Amino acid sequence: MKSPLSAAETVLKSLGVETPDEIDLDTIAWHMGVRGIRYRRLDGCEARIVGRSGRAIISVRAGVRATRQRFSICHELGHWHHHRGQFLCCKSSDIGEGARDVAQAKETVANRFASDLLLPPYLLRPMVSDMKSIEVKAVDQVAAMFKASLTATAIKLVQTVAVPSMLVCHTRLGKKWHFPGPAVPRNWSPKTEIDQASQGFSMLFQDRLNQPVAKRVGAHTWFDRRNAERFDVWEQSFKTVEGEVLTILTFRDQNMFDDETRTPRWS
C-alpha cells in the first residue's frame, strides 16, 4: 500500500516532477503564487515571506550556502501553503534542517514541508529501498543529487530507510538534537555528553577527519539505559560546515527494543 502524498509532494506531482533535477524552486514558487525570490541582507532573520491576495515575495539572506538558501525558500513556501495571511520572519534557529524540538508548531510544519519539497519521499524511497545501512558516502551522493545539505539529507534518510537508525548532532557544548527513525522507540534518547569512546569525540575536540566506515561500539557509549552494555550499535560520524558533528547510529539487533534482558542475536 502506497503512503499518502504530503502537501509538498502533491505540489511536485501537480507539476509533473519525476526526477530530482526537475525540482526547480523558481518554477515551484511561481506555481504557488510567489512572484519573486530576492537575495538580500537580512538582519535577525534567515528568510521571510510577505504576501497579499494570493501573491507573495520571498526574501532570503544573501551570502550563505546555496543549500541553506534552498531550504529557506522551501521553508517559506511551507508557511505560504499552511499559514497564508500571517506575517512571519524566520530566524536561523527556526529554519533548521536539524531543529527537531522547535517550540513553534508553525515552524515545525514549515520545516516538514521544506524537507518533503527538497527530498520528496516518492522520489527518494525507490532509490533507497534496498539500502541495508545509512553510510556517509550515501548521504553525500543523495545530497548532491537533490542539491540539499548533508544534515537535511541525513535526517531524511533516517526517516526513510527501513533499517532502525538515529541521527545525533553534537557541538563542543554537548548534544544539540537527535532524530530517531520510525523503527526506534521515542524513549531512546542519547546521552547529553558525547562519550570519549566515540570517534565523534575526537572529531570535536581533536580535529580528526570524518570517519570513513561505520564502527561497532557498545550501546552504553551512547545510551544511559539499563543493560545497554549487553548490546552494540554501529556509529559513523562526520563534520558539518558549521563545525557540528553528526553521528549516524544503526541498530542491528531488534532485541535492544523488544527485551533488553535477552542475549543479543546479531544479524
Give residue 35's Cα distance to chain centre. Answer: 28
How many angstroms separate the CA atoms of 6 and 195, rounded? Answer: 38
Give residue 261's Cα distance to chain centre. Answer: 32
The C-alpha cell that represents 210 in the structure block: 570524518
Which residue reads 540539499 in cell numbers?
A: 148
Q: Which helix (H) or strand (E) covers residue 151, if one does?
A: helix 150-160
pLDDT classification of 256: cutoffs 50, 70, 90: confident
The C-alpha cell that represents 78 in the structure block: 511551507
pLDDT digits (tens, 9 = 90+) for 169-215: 999 999 999 999 999 998 889 999 999 999 899 999 987 878 788 99
pTM: 0.86
pLDDT digits (tens, 9 = 90+) for 20-33: 999 999 999 999 99
Where in the chain are the domains?
Answer: 7-118, 163-258
Which residue reads 523503527 in cell numbers?
A: 183
Which residue reads 499518502 in cell numbers?
A: 4
Give the CATH class of 7-118.
mainly alpha
| In the predicted structure, residue 69 carries a pLDDT above the cut 80 | yes
| Strand pairing class (88-90; 165-171) | unpaired
Q: Could you tell me if 56 and 33 are in contact, meaning their C-beta atoms sit under 8 angstroms apart?
A: yes
